Amino acid sequence: MPTVEFDTEDLMHLLGDGNLTVDFLRQRIPMMGVDMDKIDDESVVVEIFPNRPDMLSVEGFARALSGFLGIETGFKNYQVIDPDIESNIKFHVNSNVKDVRAECACALIKNVELDEDSMVSLMNLQEKLHITHGRNRRKVAIGAHDMDRVKPPFKYLAVDPWGIRFVPLGMDEPMTPSEVLRRHPKGIEYGDIIRGSPLYPLIVDSNSDVLSLPPIINGELTKITQDTKNIFLEVTGLDRVAVEKALNIMVTSIAERGGEIHGVEMIFEN
């Protein structure tokens, strides 16, 4: 079972009940069916069962705990703003990805307020989902991007491994997809997922700027920072249901911080 660590103060804040104490949570959290390694004034460490990937983030864990404690019960309703009303962002899926990494789903989260805690939570959730639900990115991989750095519409297509060049996250020089697999730490670690394919999957904007080489690495251009206000999420994979579940978990976790969920119009070629 995956082990996750949450900031105790952040968890208390998300629960929204000022009367809760660490001692009270120490008694109640194990009753939810999770194994708690520890809890103190600084952190909470728990093991999450594989059938509850929604609890891998502090936001999802707080949501579940809030219902268990009777603070906020019942199914939570998340409003999704139709793409035709506000954002009207289009995401074109080329038919040539079907033999590489066919499934994808997207969303836009607007007016996000990120601080150090929420940044850490977002990145930790992404990696925990990659390892567990995503089977080390083979089944599902998630990309989170600063929407204000790129220009829609977006396109998901398969490209020549030695064609387009872009600066991958954490680097300072342009590379081809083939070079990323040979030289970038994430390419070395996860490259075998796509290395055998004659074409590699790529997500680009209307200016041909690269958002992501899924499931390996994002582009440096769309790096999320504490100044990011609008987050574009793209999830690719091999299984449609698994892709959509991962997107839902990411979207609702970010929405718990006050973000607005906007739909994206998916246009599949043929």
Cα 59 vs. chain centroid, distance in angstroms? 13
In the chain, which segments carry CATH 3.50.40.10?
A: 80-268
Confidence of residue 1 (pLDDT cuts 50, 70, 90): confident
pLDDT band for position 244 (50/70/90)? very high
Residues 206-214: what's their mean pLDDT? Answer: 97
**In DSSP terms, which residues pair with 140 in a beta bridge?**
237
Q: Is 183 a residue whose pLDDT tops 90?
A: yes
pLDDT at 85: 67
Quote the pLDDT of residue 76.
Answer: 87
pLDDT category of residue 50 using cuts at 50, 70 and 90: confident
C-alpha dihedral over 163, 168, 171, 177, to 10 degrees?
-30
**Is residue 238's pLDDT more than 70?**
yes
Residue with tokens 């990115």: 137
Say if residue 161's pLDDT is above 90. yes
Q: Helices H, strands E: what count in the chain?
A: 7, 14
One-letter amino acid identity for 101? Answer: R
Of the listed ranges 27-31, 50-54, 80-84, 112-116, the one predicted with least confidence: 80-84
Question: According to the model, what pLDDT value does residue 69 have?
Answer: 94
208: left (phi over 0), alpha (psi -120 to 50) or beta: left
Per-residue model confidence (pLDDT) at position 11: 94
Do β-strands 35-39 and 217-218 pair in parallel, antiparallel, or remain unpaired? unpaired
Side chain identity at 152, as an amino acid letter?
A: P
Work out whether the CA dihedral 31, 37, 42, 48 comes out positive or negative: negative
What's the burial of 60, exposed, middle or buried (CB within 10 Å: 0-12/13-18/19+)?
buried
Phi, psi torsion values for 211, nearest 5 degrees: -85, -40
Confidence class for position 70, pLDDT limits 50, 70, 90? very high
**CATH 3.30.56.10 domain residues, the chain:** 3-68
Cβ atoms < 10 Å from Cβ of 24: 12
User: What CATH code is assigned to 80-268?
Assistant: 3.50.40.10
Residue 87 confidence class, pLDDT cut points 50, 70, 90:
low
Rounded CA separation 62/66 (Å): 6
Q: Is the pLDDT of residue 27 over 80?
A: yes
The confidence score (pLDDT) of residue 2 equals 85
Q: Mean pLDDT, to the nearest integer, of 22-49? A: 93
Q: In the chain, what percentage of residues exceed pLDDT 70?
A: 99
Which of 17-26, 168-177, 233-242 is least confident? 17-26
CATH topology of domain 3-68: Phenylalanyl-tRNA Synthetase; Chain B, domain 1 (3.30.56)
User: Which H/E stretch holds residue 20?
Assistant: none
How does pLDDT run across 128-141, given as a tens digit for each residue?
999 999 999 999 99
pLDDT mean over 96-105:
95
